[in-house]
Amino acid sequence: MEWTIKNYINGKFKSPVEDQWASNIDPARNKPIGKVPLSNAKDVENAIISAERAFPAWSNTTAEHRSEILRRIAQEIKTQLETLAEAESIDNGKPITLARKIDIPRAASNFNFFADAITQFDTKAHEMYAAKAINLSLRHPHGVVACISPWNLPLYLFTWKIAPALATGNCVVAKPSEITPLTAYLLSRICEKVGLPAGVLNIVHGHGDQAGDALIKHKLVKAITFTGGTATGKTIASSASPQFKKLSLEMGGKNPNIIFTDCDYDKMLETTIRSSFANQGQICLCGSRIFIEQPIYERFKADFLKKVDQLKIGNPLDENVDFGALVSAEHLKKVEGYCDMARKDDQADIIYGGKRIKVKDLEDGFYFSPTVIEVRSNQCVINQEEIFGPVVSLMPFDTEDEVLELANDSPYGLSASVWTTNINKAMRCGQRLESGVIWINTWLKRDLRTPFGGMKSSGMGREGGLDALHFFTEPKNICIDYN
């Protein structure tokens, strides 16, 4: 089936005003599966105006009412799980099993979580007892907010932003990645079906430097939440900051995975395969720099390579496949370019993969081998720049101090994993690592109440739980004197 994706503006499905479209490509086959609008500033303006008009009524609904609508969206996502999982897999190249187990259920959880959270969200009173005054510290929605998301976890991250924005009473103009627009479009159909009032959520498709740029610069947009690359985050910050818009930026990572000799070895090995290559390494939280304590370095290397070799690479729609296609031809070229650089670098040796692969009957698809590179310096390009693909490096270390210095020697600070059964060592590492999200003896275990986000060039602000509800509301203090 060929999809014609439409913008969702004021509750209606619209073609872009200038009738400009791009092909939406299935990366597993390098074949078009439909077309996506290339919206311009006029489409974005229409969406913003519709959100602005919907805001007074939506922000005046009760929290229970908004919660109920969010629940209906969640329920419909669950009902359509198979359709959405297949669409996500075809659009992105990810194994359908992953979309079915992680991406789509998490999208439903995002709506249910914030449907619950908003009914428990309270405001504060600060009493000045002796002065006979009381402060009512209130929180109000901003109005129109922008949600911009990337291609790696398309529906998962898109809904992670939209759900808290709607729950707190804002109206939204959202822009998914132009590379993976399909499930965002299916979400707009779900919103129409469950009766979300027109204009409360508007979804505009198109390129970042056109539709995205028009969205972040528009004067009616009060807050912007963005997930994507650090360079794009910088551009958005430089455009939006002079207008003093509220900003939340979730950006790139180069996450350390630290393995001590005293770890639970089997659990570590199993998890490290996932944290290296899940979604073909295209998860911002993947541990792409693996540091192994010297006494188990050779054992780990041999066992890890054996497991990498067992990964089943192929058609993402095949139920038995662990590892699908990279998202686009451009991204494939970027990953390949880094491997070419590693080949020329005397501080790095590719010991597994490093090349494109052909999958039977899908020879034109964007497949790249899982890749393991031994590095002798954390300063080499492979360890300093985000590749965002199926490429990990291995490097031995001797002491705790040394590995913490290596781990923190990065412009990024998104997440880190530490493998040790020594609780004191685990805590020392947790406290000294410069990362916003730290996992001890696990990876990707998420509680949606916890603050999520990165330090340094990985992010500004936090998402999740109360942090998201605070981001989408403006505090206001009213002081009443009752003398």
Catalytic residues, which ones? Answer: 250, 284
| Residue range at the interface with ligand NAD (CB under 6 A); choices 35-43, 210-218, 258-266, 472-480 | 210-218
Shortest spacing between CB 17 and ligand NAD, in angstroms? 19
Which H or E run contains 119? helix 104-120
Q: Contacting ligand NAD (CB under 6 A), which of 199, 228, 316, 390? A: 228
Nearer to ligand NAD, 186 or 263 (CB): 186
Q: Contacting ligand NAD (CB under 6 A), which of 26, 103, 322, 386? A: 386
Please report whether residue 471 would count as binding ligand NAD according to CB under 6 A: no
Two tokens at 37?
A: 């609008």
For 470, counting Cβ atoms within 10 Å of its Cβ (0-12 exposed, 13-18 middle, 19+ buried), the class is middle
Stretch 171-190: interaction string toward ligand NAD, x if CB under 6 A:
----x-xx------------
Nearer to ligand NAD, 214 or 268 (CB): 214
Please report whether residue 91 would count as binding ligand NAD according to CB under 6 A: no
Cβ 118 vs Cβ 469: under 8 Å = yes
With a CB cutoff of 8 Å and minimum separation 6, the contacts of 269 are: 300, 303, 304, 307
Please report whether residue 253 would count as binding ligand NAD according to CB under 6 A: yes
| Residue range at the interface with ligand NAD (CB under 6 A); choices 27-35, 65-73, 136-144, 232-240 | 232-240
Q: What is the DSSP string of 53-115?
A: HHHHHHHTS-HHHHHHHHHHHHHHHHHTHHHHHHHHHHHH---HHHIIIIIHHHHHHHHHHHH
With a CB cutoff of 8 Å and minimum separation 6, the contacts of 477 are: 135, 136, 137, 138
With a CB cutoff of 8 Å and minimum separation 6, the contacts of 439 are: 415, 416, 417, 418, 445
Shortest spacing between CB 326 and ligand NAD, in angstroms? 12
| Residue range at the interface with ligand NAD (CB under 6 A); choices 35-43, 224-232, 400-408, 441-449 | 224-232
Strand positions, DSSP E, 274-408: 289-293, 348-352, 371-375, 391-397
* Nearest Cα to Cα of residue 384 among 280, 255, 233, 297: 255
Please report whether residue 227 would count as binding ligand NAD according to CB under 6 A: yes
Cβ 23 vs Cβ 53: under 8 Å = no
Which 267-306 positions form the footprint of ligand NAD (CB under 6 A)? Answer: 284
What type of residue is 476?
K
CA distance 427 to 414: 18
* Cα-based distances in Å from 4 to 16, 37, 151, 371: 12, 8, 19, 36
Please report whether residue 213 would count as binding ligand NAD according to CB under 6 A: yes
CA distance 316 to 118: 37
Residue nearest to ligand NAD (CB): 208
Q: Contacting ligand NAD (CB under 6 A), which of 251, 342, 380, 416? A: 251
CA distance 106 to 99: 9
Residue 178: phi and psi, rounded to 5, are -70, -15
Two tokens at 228?
A: 């994507």
Q: Contacting ligand NAD (CB under 6 A), which of 236, 290, 313, 375? A: 236
Which 411-430 positions form the footprint of ligand NAD (CB under 6 A)? Answer: 414
Please report whether residue 389 would count as binding ligand NAD according to CB under 6 A: no
Shortest spacing between CB 403 and ligand NAD, in angstroms? 23
Q: What is the DSSP string of 313-345?
A: BS-TTSTT-SB---S-HHHHHHHHHHHHHHHH-
Two tokens at 168?
A: 């707190």
Nearer to ligand NAD, 388 or 439 (CB): 388
Nearer to ligand NAD, 180 or 378 (CB): 180
Nearer to ligand NAD, 374 or 467 (CB): 467
Please report whether residue 216 would count as binding ligand NAD according to CB under 6 A: yes
Shortest spacing between CB 251 and ligand NAD, in angstroms? 5
Shortest spacing between CB 297 and ligand NAD, in angstroms? 28
Which 435-454 positions form the footprint of ligand NAD (CB under 6 A)? Answer: 454
Interface with ligand NAD (CB under 6 A), residue total: 30
Please report whether residue 229 would count as binding ligand NAD according to CB under 6 A: yes
Please report whether residue 143 would count as binding ligand NAD according to CB under 6 A: no
Please report whether residue 223 would count as binding ligand NAD according to CB under 6 A: no
CA distance 412 to 136: 39
CA distance 204 to 163: 17
Please report whether residue 409 would count as binding ligand NAD according to CB under 6 A: no
**Where does this chain bind ligand NAD (CB under 6 A)?**
148-152, 157, 175, 177-178, 208-209, 212-213, 216, 227-229, 232, 235-236, 250-253, 284, 386, 388, 414, 454, 459
